[in-house]
Structure 1
Amino acid sequence: MSQIIAVLDFGSQYTQVIARRIRECNVYSKIYPFGVSTAELKKDGVQGIILSGGPSSVLLPKSPRPDPKIFELGVPVLGICYGLQLIGHLLGGKVEKSRQREFGKGTLKIRKKGKLLAGLPASLQVWNSHGDRVIELPKGFEAIASTENSDVAVVQDAKRQIYGMQFHPEVVHSERGIEIIRNFLTRICGCKGDWQMSDYVETAVQAIREQVGDKRVILGLSGGVDSSVAAALIHKAIGKQLTCVFVDNGLLRKGEREKVERIFREHFKINLKVAKSGSRFLKKLKGVTDPERKRKIIGREFVKVFDEEVTKIGQVDFLAQGTLYPDVIESVAIGGNPAALIKSHHNVGGLPKRMKLKLLEPLRELFKDEVRALGEELGLSKEMVWRHPFPGPGLGVRVIGEIKSSYLKILREADAILLEEMKRTGYYEKVWQAFCVFLPVQTVGVMGDERTYDYVIAVRVVESQDAMTADWAHIPHDILQTISSRIINEVKGVNRVVLDISSKPPSTIEWE
């Protein structure tokens, strides 16, 4: 990789968003732990360094610190929020706890543009999130912009090419933040902005080969975008060293197993084994109503099935998974408390600590849209690449409460009708995700002259870019009417259909 921008992670919930924004500028970004050595950064040939935000205070003695030699590498450095406070603290300035914590929208007043703020208006709306502030700049620095509560909202030492800002330019709430990042990349770091997904493929393939060596990998194929792209990428890297296993956990959509067998045996031309374990999963889940317990049980059984498949296949060292960034950020509290635990995911939260296989997660630093672009680059079909996301625990988190075979049957039929109508009307390609949820609530209805007491199906259709935020999709009423009518008339056991019109946040996309 000819040009790399290093993002040092100090525990910010936005670290990967920074990396994503850099890639949107067609520059390759790589996330490093905050304590990475300058020797490693130099070896990788980084062209610039960004210090992420973080939940800590530089005033605490055990707060995370970078290798101080990064300021002597001779490459530009940009500190964001906590990163700015680090610059002030480590280079001889003074930081204090703010009397008034600055959180949310603020107005940035630009006094001097320089290279970092070139092309921007004199005033911008930006997004703040900090409790400390720099009150005395290190020698050689000057403040070039301010906000309501900070006279040093943007600082620079143009001679040494060290910059810092108190707000978060990477989030969508910061007006024209992407332009600030692009200025740093192109005007200051000298990046050409010519990185493409094909470059990522080359890098990822090399990384997989280095991690795996001559060992064998087993991958769980669900037929979804993530596992499909992971399979194609890993297969490109190590070929016959990969064995794919499809686990029928009894929590799949209608016709899912048959479709996966057909697509992957024909398209991938790789060794695909099918483990029919539905009854085993449902037995373990009997009587379980807590969403976290369901996820953990499904995760544990998933790994057990894989362990059993390993004994049949022979020596296998790696378990590959299609874990993405939204899975990670919602499941792991990094660096103390940047983001509260929302829910665990099958890919990252359900694995026992003493799993026998090592993990291979080649998509861990990618957002969904990047994974789709990667899939297209790898030559996967449009149908496969643009499939809607499907959770690892499958319908297990779309049947609210206890999972019963009768509930799953109703949900499968209803979900099949929803997807059929979404595709028929062209709305499947226009939205991020569409699915049904089974509610174990019976309501009164009338069919013909008879009184019914049947279940409720909730329809969830959302629009999103990366699953970090989402809004309910405004589907035309006539389409919703057809979906509702078909489900009630064609699915035995349902007499009511409701529409979920919640956004994320505060709700999540999935109900459990």
Structure 2
Amino acid sequence: MSSELTVVVDFGAQYNQLIARRIRESRVYCEIWPPTTPVEQYRARNVRAIVLSGGPASVYAESAPRIDPAVFELGIPVLGICYGMQLMAYELGGDVRRAERGEYGKAMLSVEVPDSPLLRGLDPVTQVWMSHGDSVISPPPGFQVLARTDATPTAVIGDPARRLYGVQFHPEVVHTVQGKQVLENFLFRVCGLRGDWTVDSVIDSAVAAVRRQVGETGRALVALSGGVDSSVAAVLVHRAIGDRLTAIFVDHGLLRAGEAEQVTRTFRDHFHIPLVHVDAADRFLARLRGVTDPEEKRRIVGREFIRVFEEEARRLGEVGFLVQGTIYPDVVESGASGGGAVIKTHHNVGGIPEDLGLELVEPLRLLFKDEVREVGRALGLPDELVGRHPFPGPGLAIRVLGEVTPERLAILRQADAIFLEEIRRAGLYDRIWQAFAVLPDVRSVGVMGDGRTYAYPIVLRAVTSEDGMTADFFRFPYEVLERIMSRIVGEVPHVNRVVYDITTKPPGTIEWE
């Protein structure tokens, strides 16, 4: 995908994906590799830069993850971050021990060698983010101290002759004020990279790869959910193979207001992609009748989706390929990148049966979510689809708490539409990671028109997040919340109360079920 491959070696850091994203933001292509990767692979892939991530271990512990020390002899520039710096120092003859005083949170970094290529352009004193209990007490031979903090005299070290550098702080997080400058100094000043990884190059590379895989006559299917990933994958593959791609849109009746119509309009009418629209709402609702357990709802929706998709796929005859919207975090979290623990298994289309005999096509598998959105915009997808907030596979089935019925779905769908409409009207939609309404399985007393009511409350949920792993509630202006409340209570039947969920993640989750 690029001639300037940078590798982040993952030692179990909380921020390893964030490091890779920051590097890619500088238009340098980056992959995450496990520390067990053989040295030969670095040579074979012509790796141009290596970043060693942080991690929870101590380098002097027997069980600590290691990297082959031969990596430091490849002549490839290396930047060690936190644990990565300590590991490099330890392997090359430095002294790493438990610090007399750990350092956590914000710290002030004093630059001692301002003409170092790694620290060029930084303020003499700049804020960084620390999180370490161990420290490099003395650097390895050939290294010099480039910067310090009050608690850490060796906060930045470097061996300019071998282009090996280490920073005890985390340049990838926003709390390190000039962290972007540090990373770009490493990429461009130390490594001499150009930054040639662009959206156009991503699209061209993906299209060429799909054409090679599918060939001149192969046919492919894509299961459209209406979400960002499957939509971008569909348009990208259609650009590669044209009408040999057929999209199957299984409308389970659990989408938000207007989404089914938008999917049809976008893909059939705008992009002219052959589209099979399956209206299976009655079928899904029949299977969900009487079900209240959220995990059972998920199983039912996933299982029924598979059955519907399989039926439609078999009607299309000879098809050899299945397009999935797998993205890079799915690959890393599933352990499919080659190492690390499995965080969760991802089945992008609900787990299509193997007996369909379809070969997977995954044109987005090396992209992060923000990059997928960028590719989607470049391909001409409407921003209302590309910028859409995340939406769960089971749809509104897990936002209607308790039994899912047509009546309760209609209440939630209308309330949710008002909520999102007012967020957009206030210009807040793009500042929020995810916003939605929830219909609880309770009722409360109210007064409307001088009469007593006994009706549903609506719970509003809106959070900010970097990656969905942690989240904070969004601070709405009170006048916006008041307008949302007034409209929902006034326009949605059977609702007499609106509440706003201010729980963070953790301890709560973003979704209620």
Query: Which category describes the TM-score, using the shorter chain as reference length?
Result: 0.7 to 0.9
> Per the alignment, in what secondary structure is the counterpart of residue 152 of structure 1?
coil
CA shift in 2, pair 1:328/1:103, >3 Å: farther
Q: CA deviation at 1:18?
A: 1.0
Give the alignment of 1:186-205 within 5 angstroms.
Answer: 186-205=188-207
Which residue is equivalent to 1:178? 180
Three-state SS of the structure 2 residue aligned to 1:12 is coil
The percentage of counterpart residues that share the same residue type is 55
Alignment-derived partner of residue 230 in structure 2: 227
- In the alignment, the residues of structure 2 paired with residue 452 and residue 345 of structure 1 have an alpha-carbon distance, to the nearest angstrom, of 44
Pair 183,425 (structure 1): closer, same or farther in 2 beyond 3 Å: closer
Aligned to 2:3: 2
Q: Which amino acid aligns with 1:311?
A: R
Contact 1:234 1:242 (C-alpha < 8 Å) held by counterparts = yes
Describe how 1:269-284 pairs up with structure 2 within 5 A: 269-284=272-287
Unaligned runs of 5+ in 1: none
Distance 1:466 1:413 in 2: 28
Query: Once the 2 structures are TM-superposed, how far is the Cα of residue 165 of structure 1 from its aligned partner?
Result: 1.7
- Residue 42 of structure 2: aligned partner: 41
- Residue 285 of structure 1, CA deviation: 4.2
Deviation at 1:469, TM superposition (A): 5.6
Which one-letter code corresponds to 2:454 in the other structure?
Y
- Identify the residue that residue 237 of structure 1 maps to in structure 2: 240
Q: Is the 8 A contact 1:472 1:503 kept in 2?
A: yes
Match of 1:124 among 111, 123, 126: 126
Equivalent-residue separation in structure 2 for 1:426 and 1:159 (angstroms): 51
1:4-153 to structure 2, matched below 5 A, reads: 4-61=5-62, 63-98=64-99, 102-113=103-114, 114-153=116-155
2:261 aligns with one of 258, 262, 267: 258
1:295-324 Cα shifts (integer Å, max 9, x gaps): 454334433433333322335555433344
Deviation track 1:420-467 (CA, whole Å, cap 9, x = no partner) reads 444455554564443221122211011223211111112234455655
Aligned length, in residue pairs: 508
Query: Which range moved further: 496-505 or 6-15?
Result: 496-505
Q: CA deviation at 1:21?
A: 0.8
Deviates more, 1:450-459 or 1:329-338: 329-338
Deviations 1:169-221 (A, max 9, x none): 10112221111101101110112234321122223334444555675443221
Shift of 1:355: 8.5
The answer on whether the counterparts of 2:222 and 2:247 sit within 8 Å (CA) in structure 1 is yes
3-state SS, counterpart of residue 108 of structure 1: strand
Deviations 1:67-109 (A, max 9, x none): 4332222221111122222212322334345566544333333
- Asked if 1:412 corresponds to 2:435, the answer is no
- Once the two structures are TM-superposed, the CA of residue 14 in structure 1 deviates from its matched residue by 1.5
Following the alignment from structure 2 to structure 1, what is the Cα–Cα distance between the partners of residues 298 and 205?
Answer: 33
Q: Which amino acid aligns with 2:281?
A: G
Q: Which residue of structure 1 aligns with residue 495 of structure 2?
A: 494
Change over 3 Å in CA distance of 1:136–1:481 after alignment to 2: closer
Aligned twin of 2:252:
249
Deviates more, 1:395-404 or 1:258-267: 395-404
The CA distance in 2 between the partners of 1:442 and 1:424, in whole Å, is 30
TM-score, scaled relative to structure 1: 0.86
Q: Structure 1 292/136 Cα, relative in aligned 2: closer, same or farther at 3 Å?
A: farther
Within-5 A mapping of 1:328-339: none
Deviates more, 1:117-126 or 1:36-45: 36-45
- The 3 A distance-change label for structure 1 pair 152 and 256 is same
Q: Deviations over 1:114-140 (max 9, x none)?
A: 111122223333223344433343221
The residue identity in structure 2 corresponding to 1:268 is F
Distance, in Å, in 1 between the alignment partners of 2:149 and 2:213 is 46
Bigger mean CA offset, 410-419 vs 26-35 = 26-35
> When the two structures are superposed, what TM-score results if normalisation uses the length of structure 2?
0.86
Residue 353 of structure 1 deviates from its aligned partner by 9.9
Change over 3 Å in CA distance of 1:209–1:156 after alignment to 2: farther
**Following TM superposition, by how much is the alpha carbon of 1:48 offset from its aligned partner in structure 2, in angstroms?**
1.2
Q: For residue 412 of structure 1, report the CA deviation from its aligned partner.
A: 1.0
- Measured in 1, the distance between the counterparts of 2:293 and 2:340 equals 26
Equivalent position of 1:442 in the other structure = 443
The within-5 A match list for 1:275-314 is 275-286=278-289, 288-314=291-317
How far apart are residue 381 of structure 1 and its match?
2.8
1:73/1:315 CA distance change after superposition, 3 Å: farther
Question: Contact 1:464–1:470 (CA<8 Å) still a contact in 2?
Answer: yes
Post-superposition CA distance 1:335-393 (Å, at most 9, x none): 7779xx6x887749x64997865654433444443222211211223333333332322
CA distance in 2, matches of 1:345, 1:395: 20
* Code of the aligned partner of 1:173: H
Q: 1:230 to 1:193 in 2, by over 3 A?
A: same
| 1:21-78 C-alpha deviation (Å, 9 max, x unpaired) | 1122222223333333444333433321112223344334454433433222222111
Structure 1 stretch displaced more, 478-487 or 225-234: 478-487
- The verdict on how the C-alpha distance between 1:427 and 1:99 changes in structure 2, with shifts beyond 3 A counting, is closer
Q: Given that residues 16 and 365 in structure 1 are in contact (C-alpha distance below 8 angstroms), is that contact kept between their aligned partners in structure 2?
A: no
Q: Structure 1's 352 and 313: CA in aligned 2 closer, same or farther, altered over 3 A?
A: closer
C-alpha deviation, 1:493, in angstroms: 1.5
2:442 is paired with a residue whose SS is strand
Distance 1:146 1:276 in 2: 63
* Counterpart for residue 162 of structure 1: 164
Which stretch of the first structure deviates more once superposed, 420-429 or 222-231?
420-429
Instruction: For 1:284 and 1:101, locate their aligned partners in 2 and report how far apart those are by CA, in whole Å.
Output: 56
